[in-house]
């Protein structure tokens, strides 16, 4: 897990995650037929909030379940137990569990798509046919 605890990896994942969540916000706002200015502002807000909260947690100097410098050999004085420390611990724990849940969800989704591709190959259907049939069945539900 030392690789995932790298500062460069955490910053990269924060930027990419912010882009994905901003795109998700954009799609939801477009689906709700909101004005384009609101869609853009909502997406920008989500991106900046997500990126800012992760970067604040990374550079705060507070060890949390999300990112810890303790294993990196940097001597550290004991943290002052104030409201910022408590909030950083809560946010760090939230992001830690969020990342685990997201990883599990994406892993299950990847396995599902891989199985559907194998099913298409065994039935000699065009790749993606099983997913398209499932998607069409879901859209036709009342």
SS (H, E, C) 42-101: HHHHHHHHHHHHHHHHHHCCCCCCCCCCHHHCCCCCCCCCCHHHHHHHHHHHHHHHHHHH
pLDDT value for 45: 96
Q: Are residues 51 and 92 in the same domain?
A: no
The span from the CA of 81 to the CA of 24, in Å, is: 36
Q: Are residues 132 and 103 in the same domain?
A: yes
Provide the residue count of the chain.
142
Of 30, 59, 88, which residue is a domain's last? Answer: 59
pTM of the model: 0.68
Q: Are residues 12 and 47 in the same domain?
A: yes
The span from the CA of 58 to the CA of 103, in Å, is: 20
pLDDT value for 71: 56
CA distances from 37 to 26, 29, 34, 42 (A): 11, 11, 8, 9
pLDDT value for 73: 56
Domain of residue 113 covers: 80-142
Question: Please, what are the averages of pLDDT over each run of 10 residues along the chain (142 residues)?
Answer: 70 88 94 93 95 88 73 58 84 85 87 90 86 82 64
Of 29, 59, 89, which residue is a domain's last? Answer: 59
pLDDT value for 40: 95
Q: Are residues 48 and 86 in the same domain?
A: no
pLDDT value for 70: 60
Q: Are residues 53 and 87 in the same domain?
A: no
Question: CB pairs under 8 A, 24+ apart, for 12-17?
Answer: 14/50, 14/51, 14/54, 14/55, 14/58, 15/51, 17/50, 17/54
């Amino acid at each position: 897990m030392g690789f995932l605890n790298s500062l460069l990896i955490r910053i990269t994942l924060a930027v990419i995650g912010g882009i994905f969540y901003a795109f998700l916000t954009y799609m939801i706002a477009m689906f709700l037929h909101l004005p384009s200015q609101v869609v853009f502002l909502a997406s920008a807000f989500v991106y900046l909030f997500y990126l800012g909260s992760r970067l604040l947690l990374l550079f705060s100097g507070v060890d949390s379940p999300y990112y810890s410098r303790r294993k990196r050999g940097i001597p550290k004085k004991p943290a002052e137990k104030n409201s910022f420390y408590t909030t950083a611990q809560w946010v760090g724990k939230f992001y830690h569990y969020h990342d685990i849940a997201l990883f599990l969800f994406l892993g299950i989704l990847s396995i599902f798509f891989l199985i559907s591709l194998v099913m298409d190959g065994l039935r000699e259907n065009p790749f993606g046919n099983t997913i398209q049939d499932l998607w069409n069945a879901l859209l036709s539900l009342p």
